[in-house]
Structure 1
């Protein structure tokens, strides 16, 4: 069960914003290893989800008792054509259209046996722009282990009006010949998005014959990757379309908890007479007490 304060906050916010439709979220690489960041919005009935997952077991887990607001597709996304999905035993989160990079595994002294145990599956690829069943996108979430750049390039049409992208950026190469985080960042900025925040970072311990003397949970120095939030037209927010502000306010509150950005959206919408005058104060009152200054309503 989600946090009660969060549920109330989203319910009150949606009541004030009165969005014309549910948010449209597309998740490419929807393997359910962890709750996705947009889960609170989906649970509150504020979003419709289309998820892509090429691995059979992960797809089966997604479709078992799938809620009405979610549609899952057992397919890979990328440049039109064919590819090979490399799947690693007991490490489904590493499945990729790219093969694991041996030099990285040797450096980390981690996952070194996986390449020899991998299974390889031919897949047909289509871009998001070519998939007519995929609606216009408000939020694109990507976790495709190296294929992020191809997916983003193949979604220029559908991303043209999108509000945000949550993407895994790779800082140290984990796969052979995968694009760098700089390549992905450059493509997103070229499409009009700006980086807003990092949601997390993944670090691994650097391998050595002495590593077992250390607490690996505390000593993990090598930065590998992390999820980043990119948002369209942040520096033009004061002049943004009203519907775009409503979408951004909901996503900021329910997908990546940028309360300050949600309040900026509410401020603009209050000035336009689009939401009740007390909408921002209600939002502040719904926040946990440690996020509010003493005496704030």
Structure 2
């Protein structure tokens, strides 16, 4: 059993989500840290696991082919993070397109009609094209068991899944970008990503967020932008190993899924259901679910 040190920053008291994460890390008899593989780890936006990582509650193996972004990740890495320069995919050769806005960088060329419709031609501005050979996650010997695959590579998701059959066969969750409005030529879109993950035993659990924009028009100046964000662009979805069959989860899998549910995707009803199963199996005391509920944020707890 590994006891994890999960402490608040100096001078701060843990409350809300931080308190829940600290409670789970202390209460669950985990044999190892929860392991996260982050494909496309470019830190433009804060990762959903950032709070858990800052507490020493997980370890991250990241992949980022953008040299500038990789250098930044390495410079800020903690003892629980390691980053590699590989472009992850199905093992085939590809052209990595470095867009002027690095968050748009992709193996796919831009889909120009969307840029014209939304009057955002800069979305499709490619600064440089770099020939690369992609690496399959199944071929990466230092990866080890992965509990969560987080992926954000602008249209290359299905190719990664195809090269990670073994890794995903043992994983508990995938956090992936889902596209609703086409930004790249040949990208799989929501339907393609959803079908690929369902075939591998995962089901959509929740959306972490969705982005939308108003469609430009002659009367745009008369519209309140926040009330006219009519066109969905993309978002992040959480896919879980079939939770209708929690009886097939090992004790360790139940615990890692519980840590992820409580501290990463904030699915508190799921975390409590997993704690109930752990109580039934004699892994944690009977009082553990109630103690977790006592620590829920005020906007979640009914009492």
TM-score (norm 1): 0.93
When residues 173 and 114 of structure 1 are mapped into structure 2, their CA distance, relative to the original with a 3 A threshold, is closer
Instruction: Work out whether residues 99 and 125 of structure 2, in 8 Å CA contact, stay in contact via their aligned partners in 1.
Output: no
Match of 1:11 in 2: 22
Q: Following TM superposition, by how much is the alpha carbon of 1:219 offset from its aligned partner in structure 2, in angstroms?
A: 2.4
Residue of structure 2 equivalent to 1:184 = 193
Which residue does the alignment assign to 2:74?
63
Aligned residue number for residue 288 of structure 2: 279
Match of 2:202 among 179, 193, 205: 193
Gaps of 5+ in 1: none
Q: Does 1:119 align with 2:119?
A: no
Tell me if 1:99 matches 2:97: no
Alignment equivalent of 1:80, drawn from 74, 87, 91: 91
Show the counterpart of 1:132: 141
Count of residues in Structure 1 that have an aligned counterpart in Structure 2: 292
Instruction: Name the stretch that deviates more: 198-207 or 23-32.
Output: 198-207
The offset of 1:253, in angstroms, is: 0.4
Asked whether the 8 Å contact 2:63–2:83 carries over to 1, the reply is yes
Output the CA distance in 2 between the equivalents of 1:122 and 1:186: 29
Distance 2:69 2:229 in 1: 28
Q: What is the match of residue 242 of structure 2?
A: 233
Look up the SS of the partner of 1:291 in the other structure.
Answer: coil
TM-score normalised per structure 2:
0.91
Offset from partner CA, 1:258-281 (integer Å, 9 cap, x none) = 000000000111111110221111
Question: Offset of 1:216 from its aligned partner?
Answer: 3.5
Offset of 1:8 from its aligned partner?
Answer: 2.2
Q: Tell me how far apart the structure 1 counterparts of residues 240 and 30 of structure 2 sit (CA, whole Å).
A: 19
**2:117–2:216 contact (8 Å) kept in structure 1:** yes
Cα root mean square deviation, aligned? 1.7
Query: Are residue 49 (structure 1) and residue 60 (structure 2) matched?
Result: yes
Q: Structure 1 runs of 4+ off > 6 angstroms?
A: none
Which segments of 5 or more consecutive residues in structure 2 lack a partner in the other structure?
1-8
TM-superposed CA distance for 1:81, in Å, is 2.9
